[in-house]
């Protein structure tokens, strides 16, 4: 092979994987083991002291998970990645590495409902304060910056659907103030958007969704872009100060452009413990092998259905950036030219009651709280995922009473349209 880098389809299948050295197994084996035998006492000591890379215990590293980590790092264009138990664990460990009690971070106000809850409530226990800014108004992020701001957080394409974030505009602001930009790339996946190319510093994923892609495993990933210089920066003591538990090692100095990933692993996973089961890593790896094929079909199906619903008499509006009339169409063409993802919202003329009726009447669509399955899914956010929010919060988050969220699967679009038409009638 030449020096040319392999393409995305090739990386999705091969990055991080090789035939198993001892058995020749071509698929990545599931290393279903809690621990790993040391070569000798010196080897054990060097592993514990972070002087050598190797496996100790599957809470910290595992060879199946390592393939998944290398693969997502390659697909996103990052320096390293860490597989964790869920998307929420990825967000939590990321913030744990960045924040001290009393610190703040700025989050886009259009986010997955679970992230809004995590930030508003669970983080209070750690003394981490979220400050909300308007996804559609990058200047609102800059206005919210204070000396305690430690991160800016957004989604690339935002849940519950239809919002495309101007990542480069947020990155410009983050860079001006020397603050890392964290992008949740769950909805887009690296097939559609690679946030590091637009100036993100850290990418997080819920691998539960399109990466795994079959609705069968919970998992999460943190990807280090290798772009942020933590060394000597007192605002980030986890990375820039000597670690007493590792013989006063300074992670930023020892590990350079993958220090953030190391911090997630040797402090986050080691001390807090949300490790990904190797079996789930195996299933997510299998999913990623067909990610480019699946994502394109997801997007094509979603566009066909969004188009159909935009002309349906019971539907007040459709929020899908793939539609030429959509307010985010310009941003979608710039950031996500291959398609606008599979998750979008519609507003029903009949309001809350019509939303509840639609989810009850659909046959082929499953009524549940998930996205990114081969199967088409539907939910009425106001009565489920977003019900804890106040009414104004629901509306800001794009989850008003008339809103129904669809996650379009890989079925024949004609069958999905027939199901929707029958349920709306």
Ligand X SMILES: *Cc1c(COP(=O)(O)O)cnc(C)c1O
Residues that bind ligand X (CB under 6 A): 86-88, 112, 114-115, 155, 159, 184, 186-187, 206, 208-209, 218, 220, 371
d(CA 135, CA 170) in angstroms, rounded, equals: 9
CB of 184 vs ligand X, minimal distance in Å:
5
Q: Which is nearer to ligand X, 217 or 240 (CB)?
A: 217
Q: Which is nearer to ligand X, 87 or 180 (CB)?
A: 87
Residue 83 near residue 221 (C-beta atoms within 8 A): yes
CB of 107 vs ligand X, minimal distance in Å:
12
Quick count: other Cβ atoms within 10 Å of Cβ 112? 24
Contacts of 277 (CB under 8 A, 6+ apart): 85
Q: Which is nearer to ligand X, 114 or 256 (CB)?
A: 114
Alpha helices in 220-361 (DSSP H): 237-240, 251-255, 259-263, 270-272, 278-289, 291-310, 329-335, 351-361
d(CA 264, CA 274) in angstroms, rounded, equals: 11
Ramachandran sector of residue 36 (left: φ over 0; alpha: ψ -120 to 50; beta: rest): beta
CB of 87 vs ligand X, minimal distance in Å:
2
CB of 46 vs ligand X, minimal distance in Å:
34
Q: Which is nearer to ligand X, 28 or 86 (CB)?
A: 86
d(CA 51, CA 262) in angstroms, rounded, equals: 13
Q: Which is nearer to ligand X, 75 or 252 (CB)?
A: 75
Specify the DSSP class assigned to residue 57.
B
CB of 274 vs ligand X, minimal distance in Å:
10
CB of 86 vs ligand X, minimal distance in Å:
3
* CA trace torsion 379, 382, 387, 390 (10° rounding): 150
CB of 424 vs ligand X, minimal distance in Å:
26
Ramachandran sector of residue 297 (left: φ over 0; alpha: ψ -120 to 50; beta: rest): alpha
Q: Which residue is nearest to ligand X (CB)?
A: 87
Tell me the C-alpha to C-alpha distance, in Å, between residue 97 and each of 61, 91, 144, 239: 18, 10, 21, 8
Q: Which is nearer to ligand X, 121 or 143 (CB)?
A: 121
d(CA 49, CA 45) in angstroms, rounded, equals: 6
CB of 109 vs ligand X, minimal distance in Å:
14
């Amino acid at each position: 092979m030449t020096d040319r880098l392999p393409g995305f389809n090739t990386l999705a299948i091969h990055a991080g994987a090789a035939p198993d050295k001892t058995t020749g197994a071509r698929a990545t084996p599931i290393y279903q083991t809690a621990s790993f035998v040391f070569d000798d006492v010196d080897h054990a000591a060097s592993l514990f002291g972070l002087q050598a890379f190797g496996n100790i215990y599957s809470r910290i590293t595992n060879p199946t998970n390592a393939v998944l980590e290398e693969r997502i790092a390659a697909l996103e264009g990052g320096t390293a990645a860490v597989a964790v138990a869920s998307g929420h664990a990825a967000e939590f460990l990321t913030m744990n590495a960045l924040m001290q009690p009393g610190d703040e971070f700025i989050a886009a106000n259009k986010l997955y409902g679970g992230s809004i809850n995590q930030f508003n409530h669970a983080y209070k226990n750690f003394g981490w304060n979220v400050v909300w800014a308007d996804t559609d108004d990058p200047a609102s992020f800059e206005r919210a910056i204070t000396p305690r701001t430690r991160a800016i957080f957004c989604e690339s394409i935002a849940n519950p659907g239809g919002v495309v974030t101007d990542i480069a505009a947020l990155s410009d602001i983050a860079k001006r103030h020397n603050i890392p930009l964290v992008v949740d790339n769950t909805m887009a996946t690296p097939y559609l958007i690679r946030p590091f190319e637009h100036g993100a510093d850290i990418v997080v994923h819920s691998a539960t969704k399109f990466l795994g892609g079959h609705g069968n495993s919970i998992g999460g990933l943190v990807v280090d872009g290798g772009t942020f210089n933590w060394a000597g920066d007192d605002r980030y003591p986890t990375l820039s100060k000597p670690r007493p538990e590792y013989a006063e090692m300074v992670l930023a100095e020892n590990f350079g452009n993958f220090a953030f990933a190391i911090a997630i692993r040797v402090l986050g996973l080691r001390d807090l413990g949300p490790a990904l089961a190797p079996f789930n890593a195996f299933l997510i790896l299998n999913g990623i092998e067909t990610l480019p094929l699946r994502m394109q079909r997801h997007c094509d199906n979603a566009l066909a259905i969004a188009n159909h619903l935009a002309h349906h008499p019971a539907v007040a509006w459709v929020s899908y950036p793939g539609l030429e009339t959509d307010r985010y169409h310009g941003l979608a063409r710039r950031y996500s030219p291959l398609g606008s993802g599979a998750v979008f919202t519609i507003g029903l003329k009949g309001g809350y009651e019509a939303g509840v009726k639609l989810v009850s009447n659909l046959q082929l669509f499953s009524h549940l709280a998930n996205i990114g399955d081969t199967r088409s899914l539907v939910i009425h956010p106001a009565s489920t995922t977003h019900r804890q929010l106040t009414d104004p919060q629901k509306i800001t988050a794009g989850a008003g009473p008339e809103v129904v969220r669809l996650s379009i699967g890989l079925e024949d679009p004609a069958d999905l349209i027939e199901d929707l038409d029958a349920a709306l009638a």
